[in-house]
């Protein structure tokens, strides 16, 4: 299995090479040369594997299709080390929770993805990424400086996965004051010597721009061995593909059945993993993108216009992890949508976005494929919607959900179909966004014992302007 860039660089690269590299040298994102196809016999076998041997073995089976430069026994051991009941709180790892029945056996379900160390779905991939990094760096005898951007959950998931790992430092940027108090406390209270928190004076998109700018400075990247943990890193997105298969296998009994997924999405990484699973042959009917008031993705799927917003036009909402107006992973889907035309993808995401701040595929025949061929639908949710959905879900089903999951549940209702289970991907536990949940319900969400008093712990964080050079100088100083 070789990998190529969405912007036209077809130099063949193996998995472990792109694992440590992040962005491609031409500024594009890596994708496999072709998606492995899962036939009926394989899906039947995986159904038995998942039932009898569990999530870790299913992960090994799927990852093996994309990774041929790690020995099978080693890859299986990495999966078994990652996906344990001790780390994820349950042997099922990603159990489905039934919310309500639908017509002709459909129904609405939640897939629990927030049982990991930081109580958010990002743990599902980040725990694997940490173990992959440690394995490959040890094999090479090298070190890696990870530069990341977070709107809330990626940062803590990365830091908890990488803390104490040999050969790894983490430099995590976040928008100053824009995360929930719990999210800030999770990150900034870590005192590990290899963890560095950087609060950027701006919004998440500023943080993401800094990561891309530093990654595109090839001389600096090579000198300081810069890697990424954001979903621009293919390995992280690949890990997320697994839970789409796991959700499908739990919701169905036969391969002829289809399911739909609704995914709260800001950066398009989570739902892009669903796109990959569908391209592999997983019987997904619809992939529903749920946004908050920062609706750049919903606007595209409705109109064909992809229009990024500036900092001043990026709303600060009660589902802050989706306060994003530049969906970096979206490039991967558009590359597929345009028949894998690297030159055209480079023009759209390079020249047009930098000069015009948008591009328009509304009259392009390919745009119709977004829904008809690739199954994409979309919708948006507001603060009032979140409050109403959190209350309704708790009152009718006795289930407390966080604000981002509420965006998903709200949007999912518009796309339910008879006979097709609708699975909403849970994104975090309610305690991470306690103020809004309390506003909706009048009660405080349950707090796991290990996080009691976390907001009162000492903090280790540095404030920097939204300037790539300032971040580079801090990295250089910290590595001296």
User: At 108, phi and psi to the nearest 5?
Assistant: -120, 130
In this structure, which long-range contacts are made by residues 335-344, counting pairs with CB atoms below 8 Å and at least 24 apart in sequence? Answer: 335/6, 335/29, 335/31, 336/31, 336/275, 336/279, 336/374, 337/361, 337/366, 337/367, 337/369, 337/370, 337/374, 338/366, 339/366, 342/4, 342/5, 342/6, 342/7, 342/8, 342/9, 342/10, 342/28, 343/8
Residue 28 near residue 346, CB atoms below 8 Å: yes
Q: 3-state class of 448 per DSSP? A: coil
- Active site positions, annotated: 122
Residue 211 near residue 227, CB atoms below 8 Å: no
Strands 358-360 and 195-201, by their bridges, are: unpaired
Centre a 10 Å sphere on the Cβ of residue 122 and count the other Cβ atoms it contains. Answer: 32
Strands 284-291 and 376-380, by their bridges, are: parallel
In this structure, which long-range contacts are made by residues 211-220, counting pairs with CB atoms below 8 Å and at least 24 apart in sequence? Answer: 211/147, 211/148, 211/149, 211/173, 212/23, 212/27, 212/328, 213/468, 214/147, 214/468, 214/471, 214/472, 214/475, 215/22, 215/23, 215/147, 216/23, 216/27, 217/468, 217/472, 218/25, 220/472
Calculate ∠ Cα 361-208-190, nearest 5°.
Answer: 145
DSSP state of 108: E
């Amino acid at each position: 299995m070789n990998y190529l860039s969405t912007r036209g660089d077809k130099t063949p690269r193996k998995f472990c090479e792109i694992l440590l590299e992040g962005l491609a040298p031409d500024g594009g994102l890596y994708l496999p040369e072709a998606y492995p196809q899962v036939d009926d016999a394989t899906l039947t076998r995986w159904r038995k594997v998942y039932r009898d041997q569990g999530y870790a073995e299913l992960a090994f089976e799927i990852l093996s299709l994309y990774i041929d430069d790690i020995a099978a026994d080693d890859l299986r051991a990495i999966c078994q080390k990652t996906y344990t009941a001790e780390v994820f709180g349950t042997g099922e790892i990603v159990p489905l929770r039934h919310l309500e029945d639908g017509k002709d056996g459909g129904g609405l379900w939640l897939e629990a993805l927030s049982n990991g160390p930081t109580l958010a779905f990002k743990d599902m991939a980040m725990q694997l990424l940490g173990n992959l990094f440690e394995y490959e760096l040890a094999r090479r005898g090298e070190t890696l400086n990870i530069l990341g951007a977070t709107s809330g959950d990626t940062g803590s998931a990365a830091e908890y996965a990488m803390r104490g790992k040999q050969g790894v430092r983490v430099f995590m940027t976040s928008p100053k004051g824009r995360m929930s108090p719990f999210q800030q406390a999770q990150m900034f209270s870590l005192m590990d010597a290899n963890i560095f928190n950087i609060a950027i004076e701006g919004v998440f998109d500023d943080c993401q721009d800094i990561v891309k700018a530093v990654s595109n400075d090839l001389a600096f990247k090579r000198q300081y061995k810069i890697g990424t943990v954001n979903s621009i890193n293919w390995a992280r997105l690949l890990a997320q593909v697994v839970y789409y298969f796991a959700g499908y296998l739990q919701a169905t009994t036969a391969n002829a059945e289809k399911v739909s997924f609704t995914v709260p999405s800001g950066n398009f990484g989570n739902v892009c993993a669903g796109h990959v699973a569908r391209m592999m042959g997983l019987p997904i009917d619809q992939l529903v993108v749920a946004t908050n008031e920062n609706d750049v993705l919903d606007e595209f799927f409705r109109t064909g216009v992809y229009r990024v917003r500036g900092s001043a036009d990026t709303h600060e909402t009660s589902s802050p992890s989706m306060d994003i107006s530049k969906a970096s992973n979206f490039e991967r889907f558009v590359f597929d949508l345009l028949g894998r035309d690297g030159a055209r993808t480079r023009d759209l995401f390079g020249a047009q976005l930098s000069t015009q701040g948008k591009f328009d595929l509304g009259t392009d025949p390919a745009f119709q494929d977004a829904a008809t061929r690739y199954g994409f639908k979309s919708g948006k949710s507001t603060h009032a919607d979140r409050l109403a959905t959190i209350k309704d879900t708790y009152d009718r089903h006795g289930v407390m959900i966080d604000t981002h999951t509420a965006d998903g549940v709200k949007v999912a209702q518009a796309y339910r179909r008879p006979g097709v289970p609708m699975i909403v991907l849970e994104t975090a536990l309610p305690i991470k966004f306690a103020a809004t949940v309390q506003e909706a319900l009048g009660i405080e969400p349950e707090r796991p014992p290990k996080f009691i008093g976390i907001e009162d712990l000492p903090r280790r964080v540095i404030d920097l302007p939204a300037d790539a050079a300032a971040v580079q100088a801090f990295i250089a100083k910290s590595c001296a």
